Structure 1
Amino acid sequence: MLVLWIGALTFIIYITHWVYHWRNPRCNGKLPPGSMGFPFLGEAFQFFKSNATNDVPPFVKERMERYGPVFKTSIMGRPVIVSADPDLNHFVFLQEGQLFQSWYPDTFTELFGRQNVASFQGFMYKYLKNMVLSLFGPESLKNMLPEVERTDCRRLQQWSIQETVELKEATAAMIFHLTAKKLISYDEENATQKLRENFVAFMKGLISFPLKIPGAAYYKCLQGRKNAMKMLKNLLNERQAMPRKSRSDFFDFVLEELQKEGTTLTEKIALDLMFVLLFARFETTSLALTFAVKFLSDNPSVLKKLREEHETILRNRENTDSGLTWKEYKSMTYTFQFINETVRLANIVPVIFRKALREIQFKGYTIPAGWAVMVCPPAVHLNPTKYKDPLTFNPSRWEGVEINGATKNFMAFGGGMRFCVGADFSKVQMAVFLHCLVTKYKEGQITRCFIFANTLCVREQETKTHQNLEPSFRWEPVKGGNILRTPGLQFPGGFHIRLMEIN
């Protein structure tokens, strides 16, 4: 009996000692304040807890109020320094490759592939980045602009004859169709197997609690990726069996690279890259567009200024039948302010991870080597000392502000050497869609112009003067529009709209 008591006491002492060291990690200096939560799990449940606010996520906001803008935590057993400090964020991005490197939790890596572009460093990352820029760089976008406009106008026309349209789903389908066509010449509408369905399943479980149990969101996410990768692999095999004489899409570029002697590209890397590009382009941009239309419907004065800018573009055209030009696109000053304000408040990317390569001192605190650093863009974008009334939608706050990349106070597209290579493509998609939405789309010789006044009117024009337009259609929200963050942004009930003919 005495032996059992001694054994039990020893076990209790060991566990108590272990828990103490879990909650008080060793450090050569002073760790930021904070809690490490429960052993193994850390504060994962609190981190993944859903909320319906446009404000700083409760997980971060509550700890900022208690500990300040830099604090420690643990998520799924991983020690993490959370940064809501613009100076630390800037330092992390600036020192990537020197003091920090890109890092994401094992669950994220499992979802996006062990050899996805976010996992690579140095030369390999730059190599893949240049590959992507060959498709989504400014020169390619200039050539893509007319097709983006035609696609947007055609989709708007299709929506006008439907009873209702769920905007998030509709814009996601539109963008996926265009992106898949440019990447792999894939026609979703005529394909026997629907590639996007697998991406939708993948998206629903992204940034969810990692339970590999059938029926769980994370499990469905894994299955969606598995099925999508199988389809991409089959498409690549078909292209390899029947190569094209000239390059017409990104698959052709990949095949050229795979055939080069001494190439660093592998088929696995190429497929993981393709998966990330398809997902990132349609999902993030469709969320931003849904948010944008919601903001327009709630802010008539913003709509008025946006519409005036785009009608000016139409009036200044020598040929009213011509499509949108690159010069016109670059002249959309207020539109870009509107886009900046939309992505600032949307905070589609709620966290950005890096890992400390060695021990780092910052403002009296120590970041131990090997610890993750979680940059929190919402805390920066909603900082009242930098943005007056930060929860108010006000595109004019960007007047006179030139942003060509990330800054200390704006990181909607990431920052540093990993600034989103698809940022320009997303801006083109948003700007052109808004242009079509608030001005016109063509159907034969008829030009229909969309305007809002709590509702969206489609005006038909038989002449080329853009005057005396009589409303023929109107737009109105039907239901939905509420958001949920888990912590990624979602519209659980969708955002349903209706385009109707006015009798």
Structure 2
Amino acid sequence: MAAFIAVIVITLFIAFFLSKFLFKDQTKNLPGGSLGFPLIGETFSFLQAQKQDQGPEWLEERTSKHGPMFKTSLMGSPTVVVVGQAGNKFVLGAEDDVLAAKQPVTLVAISGKQNIFELTGSRYRLVKGAMVSFLKPESLQNYIKRMDGLIKTMLLKETENKDTIKVVVTMKKFTFTIASSILFGIDDERTREVLFDDFSLAFKAVWSLPVNFPGTVYWKGLRARSRIANQILPILEQRREAFSKGKLSPTSDVFSSLLALRDENEEPVSDDLIVDNYVTLMVASHDTSAILLSLMIWKLSKDSEIYNKVLEEQMDIIGKREEGAENRLTWAEIQKMKYTWRVAQELMRIIPPVFGSFRKALKDIEYGGYDIPKGWQVFWVAHGTHMNKEIFDKPTEFDPSRFENPSKPIPPYAYIPFGGGLHTCIGNEFARVEVLTIIHNLVTMYEWSSVYPDEAITRQPMPYPSMGLPIKIKPRKP
């Protein structure tokens, strides 16, 4: 065993020496920073900082030394990190043939090589069009009553004979069920449960070291991804058959829409492409919404003033319904939830669900006086602008009113919880409707209090209350 360890140590030392001296990048003007250890880079320190919700401190330690642009190595690839509004605009506003939305190897392995973030040109526009058709406001209006009824049923089931629930896992179940049922037409409860368990494993592997060794997070995630595909392929066959018999149309669900696609040669897209984009859309549509919901419930538990304003707004919506009207939310009522959504916006400013995201340089480029070599990752972060006092007055204070009538307009690429530019999140409106519908039902149907009032936030890699946010809950008296 000792000899084996010695071989590993010597191998790593040699690799480190070669990377530093023999294979040093020929580009002369890289930004300051450190690429860390071979393969590992600075991934461990970055993930550890995220776990402790110290990501901003990790950034500030490096920007204080090197300025708003520095080099590092994350998730197995050399990376340039850019911080600030100008950097956000440079990355998010770049054309696909300069900085492509190519993700780290871990995310590509889980989502698939043909997921929408990896596609470019006509294939990207084709798949995006199919997805957007189900996520645009005109389509969402048709989902409101169904979503509202589904949430009411889930709340009643989840709280039956219980006085305590764990919010994080409950919100993940809710958003997963909503996306599965409304977007993909997967209504079989057992199928959803199996898929939910595997998605939980797969998502943990997205931000991990790409070490495919038995027992690692990455290894477990890859196996879960394989099981997801095996569950979905028979469903695709059933939908394809129903589609050919005229029992389904391209507007029935996202699967049907993707099955109806034809490329520039009038050929159908592959099952692999459909599965890859199913995985991607499920991760994007349920996990980020679950984060925001968990953070909102966490905040409402801690701040009675904000809670009471949200409750007043939601109760007022019910109170203004005409006598005998159906007890279901409408699109018009969703639009009245202005204060509740401002609370969500402020939470996403202070605790952005997505800390940052990667792009990949497809050619040698220059920014800020430095070179970015072809093949390197470029990482943008929300913190650099969300907490900038030049952009947001008193940025550390929680103030939803800053999104009501701001004294000065928020400049482009400064508030970016949903990204920006060409690859702005296509599901941002779906997320807004989903979050508001769940919060409406929760505050009007129940009262609750936090079991651990001082519960801290951690990132895994998304921000969550560290203990899963258990709450004591009881039906609200009429």
TM-score (norm: length of structure 2)? 0.87
Aligned to 1:165: 165
Partner SS state of residue 38, structure 1: coil
CA contact 1:54–1:345 (8 Å) conserved in 2 = no
Q: Distance in 1 between matches of 2:408 and 2:373?
A: 33
Q: Deviations over 1:131-166 (max 9, x none)?
A: 101111111100001111112222222344323211
Aligned to 1:464: none
Q: Distance in 1 between matches of 2:307 and 2:475?
A: 21
Aligned to 1:222: 222
Aligned to 1:462: none
Aligned to 1:408: 413
Deviation at 1:370, TM superposition (A): 3.1
Gaps of 5+ in 1: 1-11, 441-449, 451-455, 457-474
Aligned to 1:390: 395
Aligned to 2:473: 499
Q: Distance in 2 between matches of 1:435 and 1:14?
A: 56
Aligned to 2:132: 133
Q: Supply the AA of the counterpart residue of 2:467.
A: G
1:483 aligns with 2:457: yes
Partner SS state of residue 421, structure 1: coil
Deviation at 1:298, TM superposition (A): 0.9
Deviation at 1:403, TM superposition (A): 13
Q: Distance in 1 between matches of 2:439 and 2:193?
A: 31
Q: Distance in 1 between matches of 2:17 and 2:201?
A: 42
Q: Supply the AA of the counterpart residue of 2:67.
A: G
**Deviates further, 73-82 or 411-420:** 73-82
Deviation at 1:258, TM superposition (A): 6.0
Deviation at 1:401, TM superposition (A): 4.9
Aligned to 1:63: 62
1:320 to 1:275, Cα distance in 2 relative to 1, 3 A: same
1:77 to 1:176, Cα distance in 2 relative to 1, 3 A: closer
Matches within 5 A, 1:20-419: 20=21, 25-28=25-28, 30-51=29-50, 53-54=52-53, 56-161=55-160, 162-191=162-191, 194-243=194-243, 245-247=247-249, 248-257=252-261, 262-263=266-267, 265-319=269-323, 321-322=325-326, 323-401=328-406, 407-419=412-424
Q: Supply the AA of the counterpart residue of 2:385.
A: V
Q: Distance in 2 between matches of 1:13 and 1:151?
A: 58
Partner SS state of residue 119, structure 1: coil
**Deviates further, 369-378 or 109-118:** 369-378
CA contact 1:405–1:419 (8 Å) conserved in 2 = no
**Deviates further, 58-67 or 310-319:** 310-319
CA contact 1:202–1:225 (8 Å) conserved in 2 = yes
1:204 to 1:403, Cα distance in 2 relative to 1, 3 A: farther
Q: Distance in 2 between matches of 1:16 and 1:143?
A: 61
CA contact 2:143–2:182 (8 Å) conserved in 1 = no
Q: Supply the AA of the counterpart residue of 1:301.
A: E
Q: Distance in 2 between matches of 1:199 and 1:215?
A: 17
Q: Distance in 1 between matches of 2:14 and 2:134?
A: 60
Q: Distance in 1 between matches of 2:92 and 2:15?
A: 40
Partner SS state of residue 100, structure 2: strand
Q: Supply the AA of the counterpart residue of 1:350.
A: F
CA contact 1:116–1:269 (8 Å) conserved in 2 = yes
Q: Distance in 1 between matches of 2:189 and 2:228?
A: 17
Q: Deviations over 1:256-294 (max 9, x none)?
A: 236997136221111111111122211111111001100
Gaps of 5+ in 2: 1-12
Aligned to 1:426: 431
Q: Supply the AA of the counterpart residue of 2:276.
A: D
Q: Distance in 2 between matches of 1:171 and 1:236?
A: 27
Q: Distance in 1 between matches of 2:365 and 2:263?
A: 43
**Deviates further, 298-307 or 246-255:** 246-255
Deviation at 1:419, TM superposition (A): 0.5
Q: Supply the AA of the counterpart residue of 1:488.
A: M
Structure with greater Cα Rg: 1
**Deviates further, 48-57 or 382-391:** 48-57
Q: Deviations over 1:31-88 (max 9, x none)?
A: 2211122233322222222445556433322112221211111235522110112102
Deviation at 1:91, TM superposition (A): 1.9
**Deviates further, 56-65 or 427-436:** 56-65
Q: Deviations over 1:307-351 (max 9, x none)?
A: 222233233333463332212212322122112112223322122
Q: Distance in 2 between matches of 1:141 and 1:501?
A: 29
Partner SS state of residue 273, structure 2: helix
Deviation at 1:364, TM superposition (A): 2.5
**Deviates further, 188-197 or 330-339:** 188-197
Partner SS state of residue 205, structure 1: helix
Q: Deviations over 1:4-41 (max 9, x none)?
A: xxxxxxxx99985752366x63325x322111222333
CA contact 2:46–2:55 (8 Å) conserved in 1 = no
Q: Deviations over 1:343-376 (max 9, x none)?
A: 2233221221112233333332232333221001
Q: Supply the AA of the counterpart residue of 1:275.
A: V
